[in-house]
Amino acid sequence: AQSVTQLDSQVPVFEEAPVELRCNYSSSVSVYLFWYVQYPNQGLQLLLKYLSGSTLVKGINGFEAEFNKSQTSFHLRKPSVHISDTAEYFCAVSTGRRALTFGSGTRLQVQP
């Protein structure tokens, strides 16, 4: 079985500052990795995904993530955040065509 750990439950950051949201996973087999974002009172929106190929993946809204197999990590980064990036961010993993296992989420709070 796989598991996902999001090390930070909350990340406060000032507008236009860079941010990194950390995600580590555990699995005995190859995985697919995802970041989803949940804006207040909304559903889960796919930010980006790693299925195979280049370990640096770019997503929507200027976010990117890097798959590091040796460190079993998939950290999410953005060089300059906006107030509108305030949301809950979920890292998720699946093994092939299986159910997603989610982390507990990181609340990104962007302050002016």
Partner 1 sequence: EPEVTQTPSHQVTQMGQEVILRCVPISNHLYFYWYRQILGQKVEFLVSFYNNEISEKSEIFDDQFSVERPDGSNFTLKIRSTKLEDSAMYFCASSWTAETQYFGPGTRLLVL
List contacts with partner 1 (CB under 8 A).
32, 34, 36, 42-46, 49, 51, 90, 92, 94, 96-105
- Nearer CB in complex with partner 1: 72/94: 94
Inter-residue contact 104 to 3 (CB < 8 Å):
no
Q: How many CA atoms lie within 13 A of 27 on its CB side?
A: 21
CA distances from 4 to 22, 26, 75, 84, 110 (A): 10, 6, 12, 26, 24
Output 51 or 56, the one with its CB closest to partner 1.
51
Q: Return d(Cα 61, Cα 82) in angstroms, integer.
A: 10
Nearer to partner 1, 73 or 101 (CB): 101
Q: How far is the CB of 7 from partner 1 (least distance, A)?
A: 14
- Comparing CB distances to partner 1, the nearer of 17 and 98 is 98
